[in-house]
Amino acid sequence: MSDYDDSFLKSLVSYQEQLNSADAVERTKIGEDCSLPLEALQKLAENQQCLDFIDKIRRMVAYQSPHEVTELLPTTIGKFQVLSQLGMGGFGIVFHAKDPDNNRSVAIKIPRPEILMSEDHVRRFRNEARTAAQLDHPNIVQVFDSGAEGVVPYIVMPYVTGGNLAIWRDQQRKIAPREAAEIVMHLARGMAHAHSRGILHRDIKPSNVLLEPVGEMKNGSFLKFIPKLTDFGLAKQENSEEDLTRSGLTPGTSSYMSPEQVLGSSKDVTAKSDIFSLSIILYELLSGTHPFRSHSESETLNNLNLTELIPSRQYRLSVPRDLQAICLKGLEKKPEQRYRSADELADDLERFLDGRTVLARPANLLKKTLKWGKRHPLLAMASTILSVSLCLLICVTFYYNNKLQILLVQSERGRVTVEKQSFAIRQRSCMTDTRLAQSAWSQGNTKQALRLLKRHFPGKGEKDVRSFAWWHLWKEFNDTTRILGEHADQITSVAPHPSGHLVASSCRDGVIKIWDLESLDKVSSLRGHESGSINCVVFSPSGDSLVSVGDDSAICFWDTLDWSLRKQIHLDGGKINRASFSADGDLLAVAGVDSVIHIRAASTGEPLQTLDGHQKEISDLTFHPTERILASTSKDGTIRVWDFRAGEKPKQFVIQVPRPENWCRSLAFSPVGDRLAGGSIMNDTFVWSTADGDMGELIDAEKQYPNARSLCWPAANRLYKADITGSVTEFQIADRALRKTKKILLDEEIFVGRTSTRHSQAINSLHKVPHSSFFVSGSEDRTIRLWKVLQSLELVPADLRDQEPFKTASHREFNRMYWTPSKLFIMTHEGVRNDIGWDSEDSFLHVFSKIEEPVQHRLTMPSGQDIAVSPSGGKLIQAYHEGRLTLMNTHTRKQDWERSLPPFLHPDYIHGVPVINNLETHFILAWGSDLYFGDLRTGEMEEPLKNEYFTPSVIFVNEESGPLNAISGDDRGNVHLWNLEGGGIKKRLWTSLGSSINSLSLSPSRQRLAIGLSNGSAVVFLYPEMEKIAEFSHEDVVTKMEFCNQDRILVSSSVRTHFWDLENESELLCFPEPVSLHWENTHEELFTRCSGPFAVSPDRDRVAVILQGEMRLIDLSPPSEQAR
C-alpha cells in the first residue's frame, strides 16, 4: 500500500473513531493532520459526509427517548424512515425502516464507510442489488428497491423478523434430521433458481440465510419458518479468520468454501461449489459440528482439501443412513462426484422426506478401502500382504476341512442309519411287547404285563418309541388301580381320613400303617397292641383321632398330629371286631365276641353304657350318617338298630334275617340314612328301610354269589359289595329296589381296568375316599389298592328315568355312534316289557351336548330304520325300511321334509345307510342295487343310479373341489366311482374282492381308501391309483371302519374292535369281545349286548367306544413331555 493510501485510510479511521466516541463534542476536520492532494481531500470530504450521515442515523437509533434528545437527528434514507439498526457486518450495515408509500416494514442495507473507498466494492454492492433484483423465488430474499443517499448506495429488501440460520442453529439443543433435510431442500430450490439465471452465490453460509416465520405449518412440513438466501454481492471484507471477507482475498468464507474455491481459480467455481456449501450447512445441522473447521484458517483449508470426512452418524446415531449418504455426496472433494445440480440435491432430499429410495448411496467397502489406501500407502501395502497370506491360509484350511467334512458326513450318515435301524427295532419291539402286555393283562398276569411295558421306558438321550397303544395300557393300569402299599400279613381294615388325604390300614400282624394319598408314600407305622390281629381302624369325624381295636381286647386312641398313642383301654370281654364313631363325634361304639356293644365317650374313652341284646358274636356295627342311630349285626341272625335320640337309654329295633343261619357279616347305611344294607354269608344282599314309621321293612333282596365281606354305599343309587373272591358287585338302586345289578370285578364297568388288576384274595374292607372319585380297599392278599371310578353312561334323561317304558327296558343293543363338533349321537335298539309280554324292539337316539356330561335328550324312533347325522350335527336323515326318507333338525327336533321312494323299488331291507356330504348340501342312499342322490335342503332326488348287484355301502369323495363323486361297493366285491354331477357316469375301480363290501372309508387326506369285507378282511388302497398297500384279517364280518389319521385306522367287526398301524402293518390295540349278561330271574332279565360301535372325534385326537354297556374315551396322542 502507498503512503498516499495509508494516509487516506488513517484519516477515515481517525474520523470514524471520533464519531464512535460518546463524549466527543468537537471533531477535527478530516484531513487536517495530513498533507494530501486536493483531489484526495475532496474525496475525503465526501466520505466525511457519509460518516456524518451514518453517525446521525446511529445517534437517532441510540437516543430514541424524547427526554434525552435535544435536537432531532436525520431519520430517513431516501424516502424510507429509519426505525432501528438491525446489524453491522464486515461489508455493510442493515437498518429497519418503514416504506411510507406501501406502509410496510423494510430492511435497508448500506455499505460500511471503508467499503466506499474501493470502487470495486461499490460496484459489487450495486451489482448485488442488480443481481438480487433478477431473482424471484420463495427461498431468496427479494430486492424491493435500490438507490443512493448522497454518495452512499442502499438496497431495500423485505424485513425478515426470524433472524438468520446461524442464530437459530445455536439456539437449538438438537435438530431433527427431517428438519435439517427440509431446510437445505428449500435452500437448494432457491439456489437452483439462481443457477438457472446464471448466478453463483459463492458465499453460502448460515448467517446468509434469513428465516421468515409462518403462521401455520404446511401439510407434511416440519418447519415454522421459510429459509431465504440473501447477500449475493460477495462484498464482505474479511477482518477475522472465520466469518469476515476482506478485499484482495478469494471471495467467500473459507470455512464454507469448496476445494476449487480455495484454489482461487474463478473458472473452476461452478454451481457445484454452491452445492458443496449447502452440504456443509446440512452436515452442521445433522452432526452439530463443522466438518472441516479447525483452530486456524490454514488448518481449516488443509482439512478441506486433504482430510477424510467423518460421517455424521458417528456424532449422532439418529441420523438416517440415506440422509447421511446425501450429505456425503454433496461434500465430495471432486466436483464431478457431487450432485449435477442444486435441483438434483433438492429432489434427493425430497425423496428422503417422502420415504422413497434416494439416488445417493453410501460408499461401498471397496471405494472406502481405495480412498484409505491412497492416504496411507505403507499401511495399505502391509495390509495387502497380510490379507493375501490370510487368504492362502484360509484356502489351505478350507481344503483340508472339506476333506474332513466329507469324512464326518459319511460318519454321520452311518450313525444316522444305525440309529434309524435301532429305532425301528426298538419300535417294533415296543409294539410286540405292547400286544403281549395286553394279552397278559387280559389273562390276569399283571406282573408280566407291567414288566413288558416297563421295558420301554426311554433311557437318557434315547428317542421315545412308545406309541399311543402303550400309553393307553399304561394309563389304564394307573387309572384302574394303584397299589398303595403292602403289609406282612392279611389286611383286616382300611379307613380313609375325613380330609381325603390319608388312609390308615390294619393287619393281622398287629401293625397299623398310615399312607399319604397324594404322594402314595407311607407316613408312619404304629405299634401299640400287645398281641394278635388288629381288626378295625376308624378315624373320628373331626380327623384328630384314630381308634384301633383288636384281638387283645384293647382300644387304642392315636393322635393324628404326631401319631402318638394317646390312650389305651382294655375290655374284659375278649377280642373286639369293630368300632364306629357317631356322626357328631361324641360317641364311640365297639363290639366283638362277647355280644355286648360298649358305648364310650369319643374324646376320653370313658364308658357311658353297654347295649345287650345280641346272643352271639357281633360281626359289624355302624352309625347312621347324620343321626345318633347305631346298627349292629350278629351271628345270631339279627340286626339291631339302636336309637339314642330319645334319651340316654336307646330305643331298640330288631330286624330278623329271613333265615337265621344266613346271618349278615357287614352293614352299610345309605348316604341319607333312610335305608340299611346287609350282606349275608349265603350270598344275599338285603335292603331294609330305617325311616320312621317303617323301620325294618324289607325293601328288596338280591342273591349274588359270592358272599360279602364289606359293603360301601357312597351314592343314593349305587351300592358296592366286596366279596371273598376279590371282586366287587355294583347294585344300581332304582325306585328303592335293586332293580339293576351287574358284576364288575373292579375292572369292567364301574372300575376302569382289567381283571388282572383286582385283588387276588378276599377284600376285607372297602371305602370311598372323601372328596375324590377313588375307592380304597384292603385284602387278604396283603395289598392296599386305590381304585378310580368310571362314571356310567346315562342313556336316559333324569326326568324320564322313572317313567315307562325306560324303567322296564329289558335289553339294549348299541348300534351306531356319530361324533360331531357340537354333539355325540348314540343309537340303540331296546326292548320294552308290557303286561302281556314283550313288544318289538324300538330304536332310540341319545344326544349328548358334551361327551363328559349326561345325555341331553333322547329321541324315540320306530324300529326298522337307519340314520345318518350331518358333519355339523344339525341334521339327521332317517331311512325307513318301508321306503320313507325324512330329515330332522336336531336342534328343534322337528321334521324338515319327508320323501318316498318309488313303490316298485321297495326292498325288504336297505343295503347300506344314508350318507351326507361334508358341505351338507347333498345326500346319497344305497337302496338295494340302486343309488339315490338328492338335495339335502329340499329332499328332491335325481333318477336312481343303476348297479348290477346289491350295494351295501357308499361314501362321498372330492367334496371341496372338483365334481361331486361317490364310491360304492357291492356284494360281489366290486368298487365303482360315480360322477354325481355328470349324469352318474360309472367307473370301475376294482373288480371281485371275493366277498361283499360292507364298509368304505377314506383317509382325511383322501389319499387312502379302506374296504371292509364280509369275510373279515380289511383292504387298504392308495387312492385314486387303487394300489393295494395293506390287508388285515379279522374274526368276523367287518361292520365299520374309520381312519384316525393317514396311517392309523379303526376296524370294527361283529366280535372285536381293532386299531391298525398301516405303516408297520401291525395291530396296535384290540378291544375285548363284547359280553352279554343274563340273570336267571326271567321277570327281571337284563340283556346287554355291545357289537363294537365307535366314533372318532372331529379333531381325531380321541375315540369313543362302547364296551360292556359303558362309554370309554381313548386318547390317540401320547401325553406331553411334562405329563410323562
Phi-psi map region of 271: left, alpha, beta (phi>0 left; psi -120 to 50 alpha)? alpha
The pair phi, psi for residue 416, each rounded to 5°, is -65, -40
Find all residues with CB under 8 Å of 178, minimum gap 6, and list them. Answer: 222, 353
The burial class, CB within 10 Å (0-12 / 13-18 / 19+), for 151 is middle
Q: CB–CB of 721/703 below 8 Å?
A: no
Find all residues with CB under 8 Å of 289, minimum gap 6, and list them. Answer: 315
Q: CB–CB of 829/863 below 8 Å?
A: yes
Among the listed residues 137, 291, 295, the one whose alpha carbon sits nearest the alpha carbon of residue 229:
137
Alpha-carbon dihedral 258, 263, 267, 272, rounded to 10 degrees:
-10
Rounded CA-CA distance 814/829 in Å is: 7
Cβ atoms within 10 Å, residue 390:
10
Phi-psi map region of 912: left, alpha, beta (phi>0 left; psi -120 to 50 alpha)? left
Rounded CA-CA distance 725/743 in Å is: 12
Rounded CA-CA distance 525/558 in Å is: 12
Grouping H, G, I as helix, E, B as strand and the rest as coil, residue 812 is strand
CA 637 from chain centre, in angstroms, equals 67
Grouping H, G, I as helix, E, B as strand and the rest as coil, residue 291 is coil
Which residues make up each annotated binding site? 109
Q: Give CA angle at 587 (583, 591), nearest 5°.
A: 105
Q: CB–CB of 969/979 below 8 Å?
A: no
Alpha-carbon dihedral 921, 926, 930, 936, rounded to 10 degrees:
-20
The pair phi, psi for residue 542, each rounded to 5°, is -80, -15
Q: Which three cell numbers stand for residue 658?
A: 329271613
The burial class, CB within 10 Å (0-12 / 13-18 / 19+), for 957 is buried
Among the listed residues 564, 558, 529, the one whose alpha carbon sits nearest the alpha carbon of residue 545:
558
Rounded CA-CA distance 1059/1041 in Å is: 10
Rounded CA-CA distance 1120/694 in Å is: 57
Q: CB–CB of 1108/748 below 8 Å?
A: yes
Which residues make up each annotated binding site for ATP? 109
Task: Give the type of residue at 11.
Answer: S
Q: CB–CB of 858/847 below 8 Å?
A: yes
Q: CB–CB of 821/883 below 8 Å?
A: no
Rounded CA-CA distance 950/930 in Å is: 8
Rounded CA-CA distance 1076/1109 in Å is: 10
Helix (H) or strand (E) holding 59: helix 38-62
Helix (H) or strand (E) holding 398: helix 377-442
DSSP conformation class of 774: E
Rounded CA-CA distance 632/617 in Å is: 11
Grouping H, G, I as helix, E, B as strand and the rest as coil, residue 1083 is helix
CA 408 from chain centre, in angstroms, equals 40
- Is the C-alpha dihedral spanning 185, 167, 303, 252 positive or negative? positive
Grouping H, G, I as helix, E, B as strand and the rest as coil, residue 458 is coil
